[in-house]
Structure 1
């Protein structure tokens, strides 16, 4: 990697905040303290793109950048919209970002970006083969990376388990909503991960999301045949992964 390309730029668009920072692409770390700006309401593509431009301008960043988004993203088009305005559905979002910011943008699903970062620089950096990265939060996000190559938009948080959309029963929000203890939640995660294992046969499962910080409390109550480890990049994973994918 040349000196020119030692740094990339990543932006993480969420329902409540838009965060961004330059990224050291050798180390997989933020190269400066990130900027966070509240997500505009209504969170239309044009309004969000204006905030993205503001973040880029805040660092004087002129080149291409990567941008995560909480949706299925196909070739720059956002096919769904989670916690953002419905006008994102079937929007050519990459073109909107390019027009408003004046820079080339790579748009990627937020869980996919985090997964790529964990495989390249985080908890799965020493592993090859099939790595399944899951984020347990309000919902369940997933990323599937095979020998370093991302299989985009897997959406495996929505598989049916015992007649339910999996994330409605096994996400961290379900644990909080139903006041489940770690053992009760662990039983649900066991059912979920066992179903996933039988579908994709991963070599490693990485668990992210805020609850990954409490991995030692709940993981003893989860039974899988696949080794399972907590994510290590936490809130920076999306920014790092987006920057890396844009560079590639």
Structure 2
């Protein structure tokens, strides 16, 4: 059995079934008396759902995360809004291969393009297309990192589980912060900020996806540098790869 807090719902996965409890119908959540690993979720209609955490630390973290956002006046419909249904099947086979298909398609398209350059424009155009892949790839990587970082910080700020991570020392010029998620798993986060503690927001469905709760304005210098980097290397890469066919 696994229990996941998704920001506005608590999802309990048992063998063959999934129970979804909206946050708005939960009246209280607490550790069961005498059973440190057991968490009791009490609904507005007094129905109780008991779940087992991996350990006492995980139970405490889960209780703290859910209790911090409970509504002042829970929805009196309680159990009427709880859904229990068979566990969904795994993703389709094609979905697990989608990235591979896209990658292979891109490679085949590039090889076809290089072949065309060789036939229509000669060896110099092919050499330019090959050399230009490096700056073009670096520009794409910088763009993806920038968008991903800003997206994570924005979305996790609103929907993630916020924990207080504690510094465990430094690794080079960056501080290492440690915290335990609601499932009792330990995680580390590295930051250029040097403090005893740091608020971290993580995705309860994928705790490896995390971001610090520092103000977004602190990201402005980094974004400016990455945008300039992307523009410069992107221009060089596009010119080298596509210069032969551009007007």
- Taking CA–CA contacts closer than 8 Å with sequence separation of 6 or more, which of the two structures ends up with the larger relative contact order? 1
Is the structural similarity TM-score above 0.5? no
Q: Which has the larger strand fraction? A: 2
Q: TM-score, normalised by structure 1?
A: 0.25
Q: TM-score, normalised by structure 2?
A: 0.25
